Amino acid sequence: MKNCPKIGAILLLCIFTVISQDYDWKYSLEQLCQLYGYEYEEHHVTTQDGYILLLQRIRGPLGQDNSNREPLYFSDDISQDEGYFFLVGPDESPGYRLIDAGYDGWFLHPRGDEMSRRHVEQANGRYDPGSYEYWDFDLNDMALDHLAAIEYINQLTGYPQIHIYGYSSGGISVGFAFALYPEFMNQRVRDVHYAAVPMNIYHSGFIVFQMLAAYPQVIEGMINMGVYSIYNNNVPLRMMQGLPCIPNPMLCLMWNALTTGQSSVSEDNPIGYTNFLLRGNVGTSLRAVKHMTQSGLSGEVTSYDHGTEGNLEEYGQEQPPRIPLENINVPVCMYYSPDNEAADMEDAEWFADQMGDSVVAFNTYPGYSLLSFNIGNDMYFLDDVIDLLQQYPIQRTEA
C-alpha cells in the first residue's frame, strides 16, 4: 500500500507524457482540419432502417475555390473512425493526399461508431445503444449505411455519381452494398478503389482473423451474455498501448508483427503506428465482426450464418445465401501486397475473379503490411490511386 501513491504518480506522469506529445492522434477530424488548413463540414444521414449517422466532409484547402470538386467517398475499417486516414501528416496520409489531388472528401461513421449511435426510434424508448436491438446488425445491414450517405452526397453536391475509396473492412461493406443493391450502386458510383480489402479471409495469416473464424461460438456466447459490441473506445487501454511507443516506436511495430502474424512492417511509419494505437477504436457490433470472419471457415462470402436451424428460419435453406459480388458493374481498381497476411493475395485474386471484367487494375506493393496502406513510410501507391481516379471523371448535372 505504501507504494500506491508512487505508482499513481508514475502513471499520471506517463499519461501526461503521452498527452503532451505533439502527435495527431489526439485531434478530432475537425481539429486536424483547423490545424492544417482545410474546409470542414458535418452532416447527418438517416438509413432506411432508422440509424442516424455522422457524415463528415472536407471540401479542400482553405483559401481555394472548392465548389467544383468531384466527391470522393472514403470507407474505413468498420471499427475505426475516419481520422485513421490522417495519421501520418499532410504529406503522406491518404486523406490529405487524395483531397489535395482535387477531390471533395466525404467520410461516413457507420452504425455502431461512437459518433453514430442514434436511431429514430430512441425517442420512443427503443434502439438504446445499450440494448441488443441496437446492435443486432451485420454486414448486410451495414450496406444500407452506404446507400444513405451516397444518396445524400449526390443530392447535395449535384454530382450524379461519386468515387469510392475503401480500405480494409470498410471496403467489405462497400462490396456488400454493390452485391445487394446493384441498381442503386452501379448508377450512382463512377469507380471503386479497394486498398487491402479482406473480402474473403480463407487464406489469411492474420492471427486475429484466424481466432475469430475458428471459434465463432465464443462470439455467440458473448452475445448471449449481453456483450453486443466490440472494439469500443477504451481510454486506459489506449494509454497502455501507446505508452511504450513514445520512447521506442519501432519496438511497437516489431510487437505488432509478432502478435498479428505480419511478416513485414518495414514499410510502416513508427510515428503513424503510435498514432494508430493511441487513437483507439470506435466500436462495432460483435455480430458484424462474426459475419466478416465467417469466410475463414467456409471460403465463401455469404449472408450471416445463423446455424442450420436459424438459416432455415431466416433464409428457408440450411446454408446462408452467397453474396453475389459479381453484381458490381463499374470500374474497380485494387491495391494489395504479397506481404500483407491480413488481406492475403490468394484471397484478393479470388475477390477479383468474382468481380470479373469490372476489375480494370490490380496493383501490388511488395513490403506493405495491412497498415502500410494507411500509415506507410512511403505512400507511393497513392500515386497510382490518383492516376486511376483521374481516368474516370464525373460531370456535374446541377449546382
Find out whether 41 and 56 touch, Cβ atoms under 8 Å.
yes
Residue 77, pLDDT score = 82
Residue 258, pLDDT score = 62
Find out whether 262 and 372 touch, Cβ atoms under 8 Å.
no
Residue 244, pLDDT score = 65
Residue 62 lies in a domain: yes
Instruction: Single out the residue of 340, 386, 388 nearest to residue 364, CA to CA.
Output: 340
Residue 396 lies in a domain: no
Residue numbers of the domain that contains 290: 29-389
CATH number at residue 125: 3.40.50.1820
pTM of the model: 0.90
Residue 84 lies in a domain: yes
Residue 6 lies in a domain: no
Residue 212 lies in a domain: yes
Mean pLDDT of residues grouped by 10 in the chain (399 residues)?
51 46 74 94 98 97 94 87 83 94 96 93 94 95 98 97 95 97 98 96 83 82 84 61 66 65 68 76 86 91 95 96 98 95 93 98 93 90 98 85
Alpha-carbon gap, residue 76 to 133, rounded angstroms: 24
Residue 264, pLDDT score = 63
Residue 3 lies in a domain: no
Alpha-carbon gap, residue 280 to 270, rounded angstroms: 16
Q: Are strands 162-167 and 189-195 parallel, antiparallel or unpaired?
A: parallel
Residue 69 lies in a domain: yes
Alpha-carbon gap, residue 35 to 32, rounded angstroms: 5
Q: How many CA atoms lie within 13 A of 212 on its CB side?
A: 23
Place of cell 475463414: 296
Q: How many domains does the chain have?
A: 1
Residue 224 lies in a domain: yes
Alpha-carbon gap, residue 4 to 9, rounded angstroms: 9
